[in-house]
């Protein structure tokens, strides 16, 4: 006979069919029914917190609490908590001494188990006057009803636990400032938190409902509603995949959310519900917009600047081109003019010299004077033309140096030798102060000769009769400094820089009287600089001047011995 066919089963279960699921005293009710069916007037019921040893007496029938407790203490150690058992007090090993045991002939211990846990236990007993022992059938008949009770109790427990969890969750979600709600498997909104309700503008007592209906009511609140509607519907059509939708709330205050749907899937990947969380992206979006605005501003400024730079560059390029063109015209003109002038000048000077030499017959003293003037004037013009030609070539970058090793003392000697007549004419004393050991120097002889000629001729020109001209040569740094001192008229401080400019002569009646082109120093400076050197002046008006030029020299090892 299967347990369900057992009339005892039906009797006890029949009683349960009327019970509401969460009947609070289901165990007591069960015990009452079972007592009747089992003909067991004595009974006790323990309810536990699911671990053996913690069961506590809840109720007893025909047994005082003290009797039930002592009885339990006696049988506790002899029981296997997890299996029902029949105890016959007349048989060994059940020899109980408690007064309650004396009133009992036979007992059934019935644990209520759910998922290997003890939820409670029942003791049914017949009084000593009833000689009938409990049978295994009695136990069998109770199996199904006990299971039903265990299920109900477990449900009760789980429901209570779920209630606690729900309350905790509600507390937590309400504490979160982000809009949060849960969805069940039918996409019904559950437990929307405060932030969720206020974002959607629904009253605080709003408990939820179908998501699709809620969406239909609130979608006008979103700025990009038509665009996100499709995404929301898509999200609802495939809740199991999860989604993220950027939404912006219409209204005065700029509000952006990233709405995320998070699916909860069961072990088989089926959607059992989910959560909707709105992450506030407003600060992020604001920052992005500000960044974009400043990038745009910057872009605009850069573009503007680039454009004006481009125009400025273009203007500069055109101006440069024009300057280059003008410079070329000037260079061409200067070199053509100089060449053109040199030929007739050479002729004039050639014929003048022939006249002077008496090739065309003897000259009268007047004629001789005239020819001297002609030769003198032509010479000046020729020097001027040559100077202009030199400058033109330097400017055009066509001037090439040809440096060699030169015996400097000898070089200086020959320069001074060339000036011997002028020096003698003005009775100028010449001193050569050469640092010992200076001999071979590396420079382009033609150009340095021109520099020295200019400096020495100026010194002679601007030094009154009887003065002194000193040439000092000494080492300085990685090169050699050559100083040309005179005891002449000197140069005012204000003019000392100017004199190296082209066509500049210190404009005083005294200086004007000396003649010259004002080009000599300009050329000398350029020639020294072409050597990588420097030309400077120090002077004191009335006491004299010193022009010094410095020439870099290669390392000693490179010099010829």
Residues near ligand ADP (CB under 6 A) are: 454, 458-459, 462, 486, 488-489, 491, 499, 504-506, 511, 516-522, 545
Rank residues 370 and 399 by Cβ distance to ligand ADP and give the closer one: 399
Beta sheet of 429-434, edge-to-edge order: 429-434, 468-476, 479-486, 544-552, 534-540
Pairing mode, if any, of strands 429-434 and 468-476? Answer: parallel
Rank residues 98 and 548 by Cβ distance to ligand ADP and give the closer one: 548
Rank residues 481 and 521 by Cβ distance to ligand ADP and give the closer one: 521
Please provide residue 482's backbone torsions phi and psi, each rounded to the nearest 5 degrees. -115, 120
Rank residues 117 and 461 by Cβ distance to ligand ADP and give the closer one: 461
Nearest distance from C-beta of residue 358 to ligand ADP, angstroms: 33
Nearest distance from C-beta of residue 328 to ligand ADP, angstroms: 26
Question: How many CB atoms sit inside 10 A of residue 71's CB?
Answer: 24
Nearest distance from C-beta of residue 482 to ligand ADP, angstroms: 14
Rank residues 148 and 499 by Cβ distance to ligand ADP and give the closer one: 499
Closest listed residue to residue 341, CA positions, set 399, 382, 291, 284:
382
- Rounded Cα distance between 529 and 451, Å, is 11
Instruction: Give the single-character DSSP code of 244.
Output: E
Nearest distance from C-beta of residue 520 to ligand ADP, angstroms: 3
Nearest distance from C-beta of residue 332 to ligand ADP, angstroms: 25
Output the CA–CA distances (angstroms, integers) from residue 244 to 87, 184, 406, 531, in the order listed: 65, 18, 88, 76
Question: How many CB atoms sit inside 10 A of residue 380's CB?
Answer: 13
- In sequence order, the β-bridge partners of residue 442 are 405
Beta sheet of 255-265, edge-to-edge order: 208-210, 188-190, 180-184, 271-280, 255-265, 243-249
Rank residues 87 and 460 by Cβ distance to ligand ADP and give the closer one: 460
Rank residues 221 and 383 by Cβ distance to ligand ADP and give the closer one: 383
Nearest distance from C-beta of residue 398 to ligand ADP, angstroms: 22
Give the residue nearest to ligand ADP (CB). Answer: 516
Pairing mode, if any, of strands 104-114 and 85-88? Answer: antiparallel
- Rounded Cα distance between 440 and 533, Å, is 17
- Rounded Cα distance between 36 and 44, Å, is 14
Nearest distance from C-beta of residue 470 to ligand ADP, angstroms: 12
Rank residues 278 and 544 by Cβ distance to ligand ADP and give the closer one: 544
Please provide residue 50's backbone torsions phi and psi, each rounded to the nearest 5 degrees. 75, 5
Nearest distance from C-beta of residue 452 to ligand ADP, angstroms: 12
Angle made by CA atoms 461, 464, 470, in degrees to the nearest 5: 75
Full DSSP string of 402-471: --EEEEHHHHHHHHHHHTHHHHHHTT-EEEEEE-TT--EEEE-HHHHHHHHHHHHHHHHHTS-TT-EEEE
Rank residues 511 and 534 by Cβ distance to ligand ADP and give the closer one: 511
Nearest distance from C-beta of residue 336 to ligand ADP, angstroms: 24
Burial (Cβ within 10 Å: 0-12, 13-18, ≥19) of residue 301: exposed
Helix (H, G, I), strand (E, B) or coil at 321: helix
Instruction: Reply yes or no: is the peptide bond before residue 370 cis, omega within 30 of 0.
Output: no
Pairing mode, if any, of strands 180-184 and 544-552? Answer: unpaired
Rank residues 406 and 505 by Cβ distance to ligand ADP and give the closer one: 505
Closest listed residue to residue 177, CA positions, set 283, 284, 277:
277
Rank residues 199 and 489 by Cβ distance to ligand ADP and give the closer one: 489
Rank residues 52 and 518 by Cβ distance to ligand ADP and give the closer one: 518
Nearest distance from C-beta of residue 548 to ligand ADP, angstroms: 12
Nearest distance from C-beta of residue 485 to ligand ADP, angstroms: 9
Rank residues 60 and 526 by Cβ distance to ligand ADP and give the closer one: 526
Nearest distance from C-beta of residue 403 to ligand ADP, angstroms: 24
Instruction: Give the single-character DSSP code of 517.
Output: -
How many DSSP H helices and E strands does the chain contain?
Answer: 15, 18
Nearest distance from C-beta of residue 490 to ligand ADP, angstroms: 6
């Amino acid at each position: 006979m299967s347990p369900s066919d057992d009339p005892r089963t039906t009797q006890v279960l029949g009683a349960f069919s009327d019970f509401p699921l969460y009947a609070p005293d289901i165990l007591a009710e069960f015990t009452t029914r079972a007592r009747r069916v089992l003909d067991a007037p004595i009974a006790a019921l323990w309810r536990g917190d699911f671990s053996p040893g913690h069961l506590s007496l809840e109720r007893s029938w025909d047994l005082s609490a003290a009797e039930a407790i002592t009885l339990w203490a006696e049988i506790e150690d002899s029981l296997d908590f997890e299996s029902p058992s029949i105890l016959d007090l007349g048989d060994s090993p059940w020899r109980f001494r408690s007064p309650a045991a004396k009133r009992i002939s036979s007992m059934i211990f019935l644990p209520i188990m759910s998922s290997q846990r003890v939820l409670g236990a029942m003791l049914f007993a017949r009084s000593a006057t009833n000689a009938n022992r409990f049978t295994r059938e009695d136990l069998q008949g109770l199996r199904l009803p006990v299971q039903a009770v265990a299920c109900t109790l477990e449900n009760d427990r789980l429901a209570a636990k779920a209630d606690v969890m729900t309350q905790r969750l509600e507390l937590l979600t309400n504490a979160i400032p982000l809009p949060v709600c849960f969805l069940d498997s039918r996409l019904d909104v559950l437990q929307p938190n405060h932030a969720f309700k206020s974002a959607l503008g629904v009253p605080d007592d709003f408990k939820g409902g179908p998501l699709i209906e809620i969406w239909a009511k609130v979608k006008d609140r979103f700025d990009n509603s038509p665009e996100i509607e499709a995404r929301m519907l898509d999200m609802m059509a495939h809740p199991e995949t999860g989604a993220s939708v950027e939404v912006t709330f219409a209204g005065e205050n700029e509000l952006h959310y990233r709405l995320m749907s998070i699916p909860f899937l069961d072990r088989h990947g089926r959607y059992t519900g989910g959560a909707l969380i709105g992450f506030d992206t407003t600060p992020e979006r604001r920052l992005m917009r500000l960044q974009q605005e400043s990038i745009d501003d910057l872009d605009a400024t850069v573009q503007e600047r680039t454009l004006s730079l481009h125009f400025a560059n273009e203007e500069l390029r055109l101006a440069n081109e024009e300057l280059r063109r003008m410079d070329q015209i000037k260079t061409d003109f200067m070199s053509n003019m100089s060449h053109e002038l040199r030929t007739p000048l050479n002729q004039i000077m050639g014929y003048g010299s022939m006249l002077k030499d008496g090739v065309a017959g003897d000259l009268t003293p007047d004629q001789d004077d005239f020819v001297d003037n002609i030769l003198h004037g032509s010479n000046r013009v020729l020097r001027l033309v040559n100077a202009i030609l030199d400058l033109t070539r330097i400017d055009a970058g066509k001037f090439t140096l040809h440096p060699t090793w030169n015996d400097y003392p000898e070089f200086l000697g020959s320069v001074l030798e060339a000036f011997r007549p002028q020096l003698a004419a003005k009775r100028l004393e010449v001193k050569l102060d050469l640092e010992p050991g200076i001999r071979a120097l590396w420079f382009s002889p033609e150009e340095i000769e021109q520099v020295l000629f200019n400096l020495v001729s100026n010194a002679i020109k601007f030094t009154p009769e009887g003065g002194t001209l000193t040439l000092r040569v000494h080492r300085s740094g990685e090169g050699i400094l050559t100083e040309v001192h005179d005891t002449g008229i000197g140069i005012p401080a204000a003019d000392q820089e100017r004199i190296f400019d082209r066509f500049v002569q210190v404009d005083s009646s005294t200086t004007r009287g000396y003649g010259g082109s004002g080009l000599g120093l300009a050329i000398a400076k350029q020639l020294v600089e072409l050597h990588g050197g420097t030309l400077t002046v120090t002077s004191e008006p009335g006491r004299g001047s010193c022009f010094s030029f410095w020439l870099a020299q290669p390392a000693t090892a490179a010099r010829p011995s």
